């Protein structure tokens, strides 16, 4: 029943319910499958064979399988892995000087903190009314003296 | 005496040792029941017994298996369901 070109439905795992075609029979237990599922080795007890067969050779490429599925009226959606977005890394000015010129283009110096400190200093200078001490605390302070 | 709603056993009681070395009773919501298969009623694995606010911060893949009917049917019932659908078509 399960031989090269047999159309199957996978019934286990995250690809369950998806159609696939047997590409290669590895032994009496495992086959290689491709199609709506990922291209992978699969135990035959995890496959439900269908009546249809596709004329594919043993070990065909994924592109050929995509074409074969198109003839059946099944469009395979290519799932590309996400590309890493290149973020500008922040580096200290002192370290930036040591780096070679090619790296400098991708690296961005840290924003200077000078402006922030000036703001903080202004805030500290502004007069803030001191909280009046509690009477009990005042007594304790006096006793210590 | 604590307020009325805490006197029933709706909340579970937890003994907490305070900084003053006193043991007090705190009240927490009880955990929900185990998730069960919608078909055969067996306990589902990989579905956490957590309160809604705990589930909210969990990733989707930590809350149920990543397969069709994950978190609803057990794997055996899911396979039987898919096979039945394939054979009927
Ligand atoms: Zn079940």
**What is the rounded average pLDDT of the residues A119-134?**
58
Looking at residue B80, the DSSP 8-state letter turns out to be H
pLDDT for A37-75, tens place per residue?
A: 999 999 999 999 999 999 999 989 999 999 999 988 888
- For residues A126 and A7, the model is more confident at A7
Strand-by-strand arrangement of the A19-25 sheet:
A40-43, A30-35, A19-25, A6-10, A47-53
pLDDT at B22: 96
- The full 3-state SS of A79-136, as one line of letters, equals CCCCCCCCCCEEECHHHHHHCCHHHHHHEEECCCCHHHHHHHHHHHHCCCCCCCCCHH
Cβ A4 vs Cβ A44: under 8 Å: no
Distance from residue B58's CA to the centre of ligand 1 (Å): 25
What residues does each domain of chain A span? 6-72
Determine contact: B78 vs chain A, CB below 8 A. Answer: yes
Cβ–Cβ below 8 Å for A48 and B82: yes
- Top-level class of domain A6-72: mainly beta
> Closest chain A residue to B89 measured between Cα atoms?
A50
For strands B11-17 and B23-29, give the pairing: antiparallel
Cβ–Cβ below 8 Å for A14 and B66: yes
Rounded CA-CA distance A24/A41 in Å is 9
C-alpha R_g of chain A: 35
* Start-to-end C-alpha separation, chain A: 99
Of A12, A14, A48, which has the smallest distance from its Cβ to B86's Cβ?
Answer: A48
Instruction: Enter the pTM of the model.
Output: 0.66
Q: Chain B interface, mutation test: which of A48, A50, A51, A72, most B Cβ atoms within 10 Å?
A: A48
**Average pLDDT of chain B, as a whole number:** 94
DSSP tally for chain A: helices H, then strands E:
5, 7
Rounded CA-CA distance B88/B82 in Å is 10
Cβ A20 vs Cβ A34: under 8 Å: yes
Distance from residue B42's CA to the centre of ligand 1 (Å): 6
C-alpha R_g of chain B: 20
pLDDT at A34: 94
List Cα–Cα distances, A70 to A6, A32, A35, in angstroms.
16, 20, 11
pLDDT at A93: 73
pLDDT for B5-37, tens place per residue?
A: 999 999 999 999 999 999 999 999 999 999 999
By CB atoms closer than 10 A (0-12, 13-18, 19+), residue A49 is: middle
Tokens 């005496």 belong to which residue?
Answer: B1
Determine contact: B62 vs chain A, CB below 8 A. Answer: no
- For residues A101 and B64, the model is more confident at B64
Q: Where are the alpha helices (DSSP H) in B1-88?
A: 52-56, 75-88
Q: Tokens for A17? A: 């319910």
Q: What percent of chain B has pLDDT over 70?
A: 100
ipTM above threshold 0.85 = no
pLDDT at B74: 96
Distance from residue B87's CA to the centre of ligand 1 (Å): 19
Cβ–Cβ below 8 Å for A11 and B83: yes
């Amino acid at each position: 029943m399960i031989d090269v070109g047999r159309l199957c439905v996978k019934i286990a795992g995250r690809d369950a319910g998806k159609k696939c075609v047997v590409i290669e029979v590895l032994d009496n237990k495992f086959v290689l499958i491709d199609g709506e599922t990922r291209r992978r080795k699969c135990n035959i007890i995890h496959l439900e064979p269908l009546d249809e067969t596709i004329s594919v050779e043993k070990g065909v490429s994924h592109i050929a399988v995509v074409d074969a599925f198109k003839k059946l009226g099944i469009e395979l959606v290519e799932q590309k892995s996400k590309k890493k977005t290149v973020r500008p890394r922040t580096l200290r000015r002192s370290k930036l000087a040591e780096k070679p010129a090619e790296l400098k283009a991708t690296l961005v110096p840290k924003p200077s903190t000078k402006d922030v400190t000036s703001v903080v200093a202004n805030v500290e200078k502004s007069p803030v009314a001191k909280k009046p001490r509690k009477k009990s605390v005042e007594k304790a302070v006096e006793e210590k003296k | 005496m604590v307020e009325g709603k805490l006197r029933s056993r709706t909340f579970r009681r937890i003994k907490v040792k305070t900084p003053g070395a006193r043991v007090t009773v705190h009240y927490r919501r009880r955990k929900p029941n185990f998730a069960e298969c919608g078909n055969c009623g067996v306990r589902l694995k990989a579905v956490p017994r957590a309160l809604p606010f705990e589930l909210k911060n969990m990733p989707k893949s930590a809350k149920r298996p990543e397969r069709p009917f994950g978190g609803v049917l057990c794997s055996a019932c899911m396979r039987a369901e898919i096979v039945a659908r394939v054979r009927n078509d």
